[in-house]
Amino acid sequence: MPESVVLEKFLEDANVSVFFGGRRVVDVEELSTEEEEAIKTCLEINLRLLRRVAPTIAETVEEQTDLVYKFAQIAKALFPESKPIKFPSEIGTLGINFLIPQAIKYAATPSSDKPCYTSYKSNSWEIDLTAGTPAYFFGDGTNYYRASPERNKHALLLIFKDGVIEVGSTPSIDQFHIKTEVEQKYGVYTVHPLVEIPIEGNKAIYQYPTLGAIPVYHDFGIMWGFMPRRSGTATIKLLGVVIYEHEFLSSLRWVT
């Protein structure tokens, strides 16, 4: 049965800072041994290959795996129906996967019913940038973003701490701003001055800081933007997981 917990207290033994955005209390539901094994399998399948490609980035994820289990408990209680977690998902269950573009921009045209407002192109990690004009991972400057709130397709996203990864010849960002529907107290946070140096030796991979891990709920709006310092198209990937009702990703998905 779900129980109500203070979010900060519930997450403290995960040893990862989290951006709460004004959300202080949540319901949680315990995981079974089978559910924990499903989450572990998902993480290990991806981490095994990520370690080969980018060991430093893999380390970012490995340090935060405990947090994934915590937010799985939150998702189980937060979604309208309590369902077991499986990997891969099955009818009548919740699934878990690493983030893909279709989990973020889950509709081609955002609306109040499908509030996936973002600067990302559909089905892509690409964002068109104009120097001096804000762009947004979540939100659009006016409308707040929410993960999928659709019946039987609810989702929860968790962006890992420092999980903003740009791939390309030149990094594009040195300032960020984040707020939620209920908390807008924070100003800009910035990037260290050596961001142009790749995080993985000679590979053109750049890692940006975040204000902790960033949860994105279906019932709690968020706005997370940045100021581009160059014009062009950037490939910026958000490293994290999506926990969802099976129908959200029951088959191969292409947003049109």
pLDDT of residue 47: 97
| pLDDT over 90 at 193, yes or no | no
Structure tokens at 101: 């573009």
| Average pLDDT value over all residues in the chain | 96
Mention every residue, 6+ apart, whose C-beta is less than 8 A from residue 158.
67, 68, 71, 213, 214, 215, 216, 240, 241, 242, 243
| pLDDT over 90 at 200, yes or no | no
pLDDT of residue 105: 98
- Report residue 14: phi and psi, to 5°: -80, -15
Query: Across residues 23-43, what is the average pLDDT?
Result: 98
Percentage helix, strand, coil, to 5, in the chain? 25, 30, 45
Query: Across residues 226-242, what is the average pLDDT?
Result: 97
pLDDT of residue 129: 98
| pLDDT over 90 at 25, yes or no | yes
Residue 194: count other Cβ atoms within 10 Å of its Cβ: 6
pLDDT of residue 195: 84
pLDDT of residue 33: 98
Instruction: Locate all alpha helices (DSSP H) within the chain, ordered by sequence.
Output: 7-11, 33-53, 55-62, 65-78, 101-104
| pLDDT over 90 at 202, yes or no | no
Mention every residue, 6+ apart, whose C-beta is less than 8 A from residue 81.
245
Split at pLDDT 50, 70, 90, the class of 156 is very high
Answer yes or no: are the C-beta atoms of 207 and 161 closer than 8 Å. Answer: no
Q: Provide, rounded to the nearest whole percent, the portion of the chain with pLDDT above 90.
A: 93
Query: Across residues 99-104, what is the average pLDDT?
Result: 98
Query: Across residues 149-165, what is the average pLDDT?
Result: 98
Angle at 209 between CA 139 and CA 254, to 5 degrees: 45
pTM here? Answer: 0.97
Mention every residue, 6+ apart, whose C-beta is less than 8 A from residue 12.
none
Query: Across residues 94-104, what is the average pLDDT?
Result: 98
| pLDDT over 90 at 14, yes or no | yes
Query: Across residues 154-180, what is the average pLDDT?
Result: 96
Distance (Å, rounded) from C-alpha 90 to C-alpha 212?
32
pLDDT per position as a tens digit, 215-224 = 999 999 999 9
